[in-house]
Amino acid sequence: MVEYLPRSAWNARPPNGGPGNLTVSRVEGAVIHWPGTGSTSVIHSKAAVASALRGWQDYHMDTRGWSDIAYQVAVDQAGRAWTLRGLRTQSGANGDTDVNERYGAILLILVTGEQPSAAMKATTRGVIADFRRIYPRGTAIRPHSAVRPEPTDCPGDPARAAIARGEFTPGHSEDDMTPAQMQELKNFIEARTQAYALWTHRQLRKDLSAVVKAYALDIKNYERQTDAADAARAAAAVWATAPPSLQADGAAAEQPAAPDPNVDPELSLPDLDPFPDAPAAAEAEADAGK
């Protein structure tokens, strides 16, 4: 559910009467609008949006003679949803009475040439989902130019293209990333993968080297102990055949204990290096080549 800013957030004037609520069974969908001011000066801050909404309400009521600002809900580039007439009240923005009775009206606060932001598209999807909960048969999403009896450029080419791509449709799976953002994510994943592969290679090489050294040392120790044991056994055999007088003067060589074959030798392996950050991948690769 979308959190809607109330009319008091933009200091709205009270409406002069109005057409009343939409009839649920008649609603076919929602129509997407833009202000169409011809300006390229963006309207992004909360204060700027509130001021613009008051200006458009004054124009609609004082110049056009309408009961209120024409649209039901406005969505800005920051993803804020503003209550205008409200989703249940019939709009005055779509064209003639018949079209206004069959469609709701959502205003995207865009200026000429401006692309809808990811936040704007996400909130608009939420608003349309709320709209469909009220009007289950109202599943169509149309640009104003497709329903108005007279020609209009509303809601502008960028919004019209977004509608065609389904980017305002609830449940749309597109992640709203720009091509540049997609490339940046791809680069990050590739760098992270390379860094992990290099880290794994270096750790395995280090561990294998430690195992080889420990094994070689173990073999030497075993051979040394085995050779000493063999020498002691040979000396004992010689002393056993020696005359008693010699045995009295000498002492049998003390035989060292043989290593226990059932006990694994204790190995001292190095601690793992910390996993490198993705930006350090290039530096790690250079180190690996040294």
**CATH code, 102:** 3.40.80.10
- How many CA atoms lie within 13 Å of 85's alpha carbon, on the beta-carbon side? 31
Give pLDDT, residue 247.
Answer: 54
Please check whether residues 280 and 192 belong to one and the same domain.
yes
- Per-residue confidence (pLDDT) for residue 158, from 0 to 100: 93
As given in the structure block, the two tokens for residue 214 are 């420990």
Shared domain check, 158 and 227: no
Statement to judge: residues 25 and 165 lie in one domain: yes
Domain boundary residue among 175, 208, 241? 175
First-residue to last-residue Cα distance in the chain: 57
**Tally of domains in the chain:** 2
**Are residues 26 and 117 part of one domain?**
yes
Last residue of some domain: 175, 202, 221?
Answer: 175
Residue 127, pLDDT score: 96
Buried b (16+ CB within 10 A) or exposed e, 204-234: eeeeeeeeeeeeeeeeeeeeeeeeeeeeeee
pTM higher than the cut 0.85: no
Domain span holding position 131: 4-175
Same-domain check for residues 48 and 109: yes
Q: Which of 259, 260, 253 shows the shortest CA–CA distance to 237?
A: 253
Residue 91, helix vs strand vs coil: coil
Exposed, middle or buried by CB within 10 Å (0-12, 13-18, 19+), for 32?
A: buried
Q: What is the pLDDT along the chain (290 residues), one digit of tens a residue?
A: 789 999 999 999 999 988 899 999 999 999 999 998 888 889 999 999 999 999 999 999 999 999 999 999 999 999 999 999 999 999 999 989 999 999 999 999 999 989 999 999 999 999 999 999 999 999 999 999 998 878 888 999 999 999 999 999 998 765 555 566 667 777 888 888 888 788 777 777 777 777 777 777 777 776 777 777 766 776 666 666 666 665 555 444 444 455 555 555 555 555 556 655 555 555 555 554 44
From 175, 204, 223, the end of a domain falls on 175
